[in-house]
């Protein structure tokens, strides 16, 4: 587009009904005007101000147009603006009978061209000039010029105002350009702030705003607004396996598929699809009339994402967890609704089937309980409320104490005990599981040192280790430091890892466990039989003991199949020269069957419950009577089983 100001070169409109005065304007503003020597510096000033718009003599060039009436002047200004050749200055005589006067003409001109400099010219000392800036704003673009005037004064005024006009326009162009760039940058920042850069879908901030808008408009909408929040199960594993680019393409494909399903204009819907987190998407649906429709929408989301995606020539099958919440049933504002949807989603992620979970009041109670538990747990670690209880492992052959498992317990100041099922997973989520492990290991080593000082102690104690601890680069160093500080023999410490935790990242576990084994610490596999991987890892890792999962022991007397599974595990361990511990023994009949299957070590409530250190010491002192009782009971049960 052509810039109109590039064509406009010092254009001036003279409006006066006196022909002689107009001739004088033309003379003093013409190219042949010769200034007196006294004003020779004007030429230099004009050259600085106007550059190429000066003649060879150094004087500024003006393009002058004249008219003798105010109405004609208004028409001329309108035409100039329309043709993109605006005037820089309009000299207006204040009186031009029989038409409109200069003041009225100036008002009309200002309405047409806000940039033109208007000079009101009058020979009367009684002219209305006090309020020109009010009648013809702005004040910096309206001036008063008294006639008769000297030619030099007129030319100087014209030169100064033309220079000012060019400067004003240059400044306005600069401001317009700045505003354009600011607007573009603001748009870009808005896009970065409210849209996900990978999928180009609304991000969490915009989703919250969109949901709040739906809530605010609820009184004009039939039905409820529903949030369907979904998580892609094991996406990090897929991302690492396929590569970042393929992972990005997968996320975009998910977003595109959901958008096509729920944001199609033909649906006449205000549905919003967005990326809520790294591997989380959200679908906002207004106008949901009942639970049946809400369930149908949720099922549609699940089916859409679990249909295969073609990525890099391969079919990718996904599994999702889904949490659902609705307004007004689950909250009155966007943050509350999303918080409820997240609580439902986390419940879905923890369930084995990853079924769609709809938020209910019980989740609110559990969420509040969990929140309160978090704040208490940090203080519990600092205040020494986390302690170790001990559960003995008994030899089925001799009845003697053959091992001990240390179990974390949280004892509140009022004496209530918090289940480890509550606070151990919580420590993982809070990122302080390393502190929990260190606390328990230090107490175990301190107790072992105390037991050794009271007499001979040669029974190993097992401490539970999670997959998170295996990723701690300082784990081996920490364990060595604690054992040295308490002067505890390394052969008295075993570490127990669940089979599932171990198999999460075998490559990380292998070197850590090898280092610990080389140092002399025993490695036990807990909950054996529940893992989904091959058994080849048993040959690769320095394992000494397998602990049969309690689920097999619980059904030992109910199913011959379970008994055969236990028998197979015992046989496998014998071939691999590993020890076997059956945990969760609660009845004498279970004990008897395990003795019959030649399982040499057992642990459970039938032997003893987990106990604090002082009670455990008393149990050890009276263990001989317990050994005899268990042996007699087991013999009776074996005889009954044979009969």
**Is the same domain home to 336 and 407?**
no
Domain membership flag for residue 187: no
State whether 471 and 612 are in the same domain: yes
Report d(CA 495, CA 472) in Å as an integer.
15
What own/partner pairs with CB < 8 Å and gap ≥ 24 does 571-577 have? 572/535, 572/546, 573/546, 576/538, 576/539
Average pLDDT of the residues of the chain = 86
Shared domain check, 399 and 257:
no
The CA distance from 471 to 511, in Å, is 11
The answer to whether 274 and 207 are in contact (CB under 8 A) is yes
138 touches 119 (CB < 8 A)? no
Are 497 and 418 within one domain?
Answer: yes
Instruction: Please tell me whether residues 605 and 624 are part of one structural domain.
Output: yes
Q: What is the mean pLDDT of residues 234-260?
A: 89
What are the contacts of 376-385 at 24+ separation with CB within 8 A? 376/412, 377/410, 377/423, 377/426, 377/427, 377/430, 377/432, 378/430, 378/432, 380/410, 380/412, 380/423, 381/432, 381/435, 381/436, 381/439, 385/410, 385/411, 385/412, 385/413
pLDDT value at position 531? 62
pLDDT of residue 642: 42
For the segment 425-435, the average pLDDT, to the nearest whole number, is 86
- Interval 459-496: pLDDT, tens: 999 999 988 888 888 999 999 999 999 999 999 999 99
pLDDT 10s digits, 21-54: 999 999 999 887 766 544 445 555 555 555 555 5
| Residue 613: pLDDT band with limits 50, 70, 90 | very high
Cβ atoms of 503 and 480 closer than 8 Å:
no
Q: Which residue has the higher pLDDT, 2 or 502?
A: 502
Q: What is the pLDDT of residue 535?
A: 73
Average pLDDT over residues 116-130: 77
Number of domains in the chain: 3
Domain that holds residue 267: 204-359
Query: What CATH number is associated with residue 346?
Result: 3.30.70.270
Residues 313 and 388 in one domain: no
Residue 574 near residue 545 (C-beta atoms within 8 A)? no
Report if residue 220 sits inside a domain.
yes
The answer to whether residue 103 is domain-embedded is yes
pTM over 0.85: no
Task: Assess if residue 196 is contained within a domain.
Answer: no
Q: Which of 172, 196, 217 is the last residue of a domain?
A: 172
pLDDT of residue 104: 92
Residue 342 pLDDT more than 70? yes
Query: In terms of domains, do 336 and 420 share one?
Result: no
Higher pLDDT, 236 or 591: 591
Looking at the structure, tell me whether residues 355 and 375 fall in a common domain. no
pLDDT of residue 629: 53
| Angstrom distance (rounded) from CA 179 to CA 483 | 68
Do residues 378 and 341 share a domain? no
CATH of the domain at 49: 3.40.50.2300
- Token pair recorded at residue 125: 């000392």
179 domain residue, yes or no? no
163 and 229 in a common domain: no
Confidence of residue 72 (pLDDT cuts 50, 70, 90): very high
CATH number where 617 lies: 3.20.20.450
pLDDT of residue 625: 57
pLDDT at 37: 45
pLDDT value, residue 532: 55
pLDDT of amino acid 435 = 92
pLDDT reading at 111 higher than 90: yes
Residue 183 lies in a domain: no
Q: Which residues of 358-382 are buried (b: 16+ CB within 10 A; e: fewer)?
A: bbeeebbeebeeeeebeebbeebbe
Does the pLDDT at position 268 exceed 90?
no
Residues 342 and 252 in one domain: yes
Q: What's the rounded mean pLDDT across residues 235-253?
A: 88
In a domain? residue 192: no
| Domain endpoint, select from 129, 150, 172 | 172
Least confident of 83-97, 371-385, 442-456: 371-385
Residue 506 placed within a domain: yes
User: Which of 359, 383, 418 finishes a domain?
Assistant: 359
Q: Classify each residue of 563-579 as buried b or exposed e, where b means 16 or more C-beta atoms within 10 Å of its C-beta.
A: bebbbebbeebeeeebb
At residue 534 the predicted structure's pLDDT band, cuts being 50, 70 and 90, is low
In a shared domain, residues 340 and 438 = no
């Amino acid at each position: 587009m052509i810039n109109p100001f590039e064509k406009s070169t010092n254009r001036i409109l003279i409006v006066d009904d006196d022909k002689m005065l107009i001739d004088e304007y033309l003379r003093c503003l013409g190219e042949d005007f010769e200034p007196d020597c006294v004003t020779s510096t004007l030429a230099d000033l004009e050259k600085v101000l106007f550059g190429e718009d000066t003649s060879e003599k150094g004087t500024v060039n003006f393009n002058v147009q004249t008219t003798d009436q105010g109405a004609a002047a208004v028409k001329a200004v309108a035409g100039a603006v329309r043709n993109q050749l605006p005037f820089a200055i309009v000299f207006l005589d204040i009186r031009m009978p029989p038409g409109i006067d200069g003041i009225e003409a100036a008002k009309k001109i200002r309405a047409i061209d806000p940039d033109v400099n208007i000079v009101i010219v009058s020979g009367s000392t009684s002219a209305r000039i006090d309020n020109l800036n009010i009648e013809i704003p702005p004040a910096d673009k309206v001036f008063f010029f008294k006639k008769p005037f000297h030619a030099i004064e007129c030319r100087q005024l014209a030169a100064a105002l033309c220079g000012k006009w060019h400067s004003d326009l240059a400044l306005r162009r600069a401001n317009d350009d700045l505003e354009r760039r600011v607007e573009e940058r603001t748009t870009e920042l808005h896009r970065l702030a409210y849209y996900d850069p990978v999928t180009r879908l609304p991000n969490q901030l915009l989703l919250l705003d969109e949901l709040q808008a739906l809530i605010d408009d609820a009184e004009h909408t039939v039905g409820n607004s529903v949030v369907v929040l979904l998580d892609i199960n094991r996406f990090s594993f897929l991302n690492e396996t396929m590569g970042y680019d393929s992972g990005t393409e997968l996320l975009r494909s998910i977003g595109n598929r959901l958008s096509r399903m729920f944001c199609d204009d033909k649906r006449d819907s205000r549905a919003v699809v967005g990326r809520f987190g790294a591997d989380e998407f959200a679908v906002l649906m207004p106008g949901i009339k009942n639970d049946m429709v809400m369930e149908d929408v949720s099922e549609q989301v699940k089916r859409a994402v679990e249909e295969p995606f073609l990525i890099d020539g391969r079919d990718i099958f996904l599994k999702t967890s889904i949490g659902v919440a609705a307004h007004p049933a689950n909250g009155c504002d966007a943050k509350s609704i999303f918080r409820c949807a997240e609580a439902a989603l986390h419940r879905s992620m923890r369930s084995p089937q990853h079924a769609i979970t709809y938020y209910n009041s019980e989740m609110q109670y559990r969420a509040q309980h969990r929140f309160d538990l978090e704040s208490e747990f940090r203080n519990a670690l600092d205040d020494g409320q986390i302690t170790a209880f001990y559960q003995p492992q008994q030899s089925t052959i001799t009845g003697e104490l053959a091992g001990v498992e240390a179990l974390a317990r949280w004892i509140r100041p009022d004496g209530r005990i918090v289940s480890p099922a509550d606070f151990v997973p919580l420590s993982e989520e809070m990122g302080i599981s390393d502190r929990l492990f260190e606390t328990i290991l230090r107490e175990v080593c301190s107790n072992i040192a105390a037991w050794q000082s009271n007499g001979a102690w040669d029974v190993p104690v097992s401490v539970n280790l999670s997959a998170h601890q295996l990723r701690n680069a300082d784990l081996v160093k920490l364990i060595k430091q604690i054992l040295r500080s308490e002067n505890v023999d390394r052969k008295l410490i075993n570490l127990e890892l669940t089979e599932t935790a171990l198999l999460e990242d075998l490559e990380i576990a292998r070197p850590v466990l090898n280092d610990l084994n080389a140092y002399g610490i025993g490695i036990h596999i807990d909950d054996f039989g529940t893992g989904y991987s091959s058994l080849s890892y048993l040959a690769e890792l320095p394992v000494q003991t397998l602990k049969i999962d309690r689920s097999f022991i619980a059904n030992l007397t109910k199913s011959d199949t379970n008994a055969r599974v236990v028998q197979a595990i015992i046989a496998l361990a014998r071939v691999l020269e590993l020890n076997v511990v059956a945990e969760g023994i609660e009845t004498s009949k279970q004990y008897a069957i395990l003795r019959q299957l030649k399982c040499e070590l057992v642990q459970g409530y039938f032997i003893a419950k987990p106990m604090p250190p002082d009670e455990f010491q008393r149990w050890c002192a009276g263990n001989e009577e317990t050994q005899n009782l268990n042996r007699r009971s087991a013999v009776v049960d074996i005889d009954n089983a044979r009969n």
